[in-house]
């Protein structure tokens, strides 16, 4: 048929060009998406890190508040039983003495941070907090339990035996640590007289707990401020790039 023969297919050169243009556009979009996606992921990660540290700080404040409330209550009970004149600031003499509980301040190991990030470690009663406090509590509890029954005494001696095996230096230094800690505690209590109310002792341990929370809070604070600074830099950087793109 002559009409059929006259039908000429449309040349595909334009289509090829369009496809090529579309491919280039998609490639361009693809390449634009990748660094944008990476920067968004990095920003999200920093936001999450900041929010985690913020949450940790708030939780620690709550924990500190409850430890302090407990300590104040026990102090009030001790004042009630011992008398208000025996527990007052008038007893604090200004004799030269050094603090038994101190802190160790070190720089954060993260060198990628642009802001200084201090790390605080508590040293209670002149000892390392993490190891000795837990061992000392166990030793105290074991000593109490061993006085009560044979089974418990056996259990305590078993635990003592395990501890001797686990520690190469043996039990002596740990007991001496415990004795030193008890001495330091007794010195602090001696300011209020030789015979003090048991409530004063429990107040002492409540405030020791509060001290631990405070050190954790200090570390959480520095982590939060560091995360906040990084986030600020990230946001500022992305704002600058968007401005450049619009220009």
Partner 1 sequence: MAGRTPIQTINSALIAMIADEDTVTGFLLAGVGNVDLRRKTNFVIVDNKTTVKAIEDAFKEFTAREDIAIVLISQYVANMIRFLVDSYNKPVPAILEIPSKEHPYDPAHDSVLSRVSYLFSAESVASDRR
Neighbouring CB atoms inside 10 A of 60's CB total 20
Site for partner 1 in 186-245 (CB under 8 A): 188-189, 191, 200, 203-204, 206-208, 210-211, 214-215, 217-218, 221-222, 224-225, 228, 231
Q: Which of 23, 107, 130, 239 binds partner 1 (CB under 8 A)?
A: 107
- DSSP output for 35-68: HHHHHHHHHHHHHHHHHHHHHHHHHHHHHHHHHH
Secondary structure of residue 103 in the 3-state scheme: strand
Closest by CA position to 128, among listed 163, 95, 162, 174: 174
Sequence-distant (≥ 6) Cβ neighbours of residue 105 within 8 angstroms: 118, 119, 120, 121
Closest by CA position to 138, among listed 165, 100, 171, 168: 171
Our CB check for partner 1 shows the closer of 75 and 156 to be 75
> Should residue 184 be labelled a site residue for partner 1 when binding is judged by CB under 8 A?
yes
Greatest Cα pair distance in the chain: 125
Report the nearest approach of partner 1 to the CB of residue 85 (Å): 13
Our CB check for partner 1 shows the closer of 154 and 187 to be 187
Residue 147 C-beta-side C-alpha neighbours within 13 Å:
5
> Should residue 185 be labelled a site residue for partner 1 when binding is judged by CB under 8 A?
yes
Stretch that binds partner 1, among 63-71, 128-136, 150-158, 160-168 (CB under 8 A): 63-71
What are the angstrom distances between the C-alpha of 109 and each of 84, 113, 177? 48, 9, 30
> Should residue 146 be labelled a site residue for partner 1 when binding is judged by CB under 8 A?
no
> Should residue 168 be labelled a site residue for partner 1 when binding is judged by CB under 8 A?
no
> Should residue 98 be labelled a site residue for partner 1 when binding is judged by CB under 8 A?
yes
Residues of this chain that bind partner 1 (CB under 8 A): 50, 54, 57-58, 61, 64-65, 68, 71-72, 75-76, 87-89, 92, 94-108, 111-118, 120, 123-125, 184-185, 188-189, 191, 200, 203-204, 206-208, 210-211, 214-215, 217-218, 221-222, 224-225, 228, 231
């Amino acid at each position: 048929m002559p009409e059929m023969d006259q039908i000429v297919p449309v040349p595909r050169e334009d289509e090829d060009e369009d496809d090529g243009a579309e491919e280039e556009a998609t490639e361009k979009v693809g390449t634009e998406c990748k660094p944008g996606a990476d920067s968004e992921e990095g920003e999200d990660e920093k936001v999450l890190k900041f929010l985690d540290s913020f949450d940790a700080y708030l939780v620690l404040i709550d924990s500190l508040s409850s430890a302090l409330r407990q300590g104040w209550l026990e102090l009030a009970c001790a004042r009630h039983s011992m008398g208000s004149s025996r527990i007052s600031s008038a007893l604090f003499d200004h004799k030269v003495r050094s603090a038994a509980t101190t802190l160790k301040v070190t720089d954060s190991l993260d060198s990628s941070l642009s802001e200084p990030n201090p790390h605080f470690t508590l040293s209670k009663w002149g000892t390392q907090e993490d190891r000795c406090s837990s061992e000392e509590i166990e030793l105290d509890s074991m000593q109490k339990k061993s006085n009560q029954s044979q089974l418990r005494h056996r259990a305590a001696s078993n635990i003592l035996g395990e501890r001797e095996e686990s520690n190469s230096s043996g039990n002596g230094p740990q007991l001496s640590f415990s004795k030193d800690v008890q001495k330091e505690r007794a010195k602090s209590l001696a300011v209020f007289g030789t015979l003090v109310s048991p409530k004063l002792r429990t107040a002492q341990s409540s405030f020791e707990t509060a001290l631990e929370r405070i050190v954790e809070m200090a570390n959480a604070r520095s982590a939060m401020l560091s995360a906040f600074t990084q986030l600020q830099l990230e946001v500022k950087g992305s704002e600058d790039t968007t401005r450049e793109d619009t220009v």
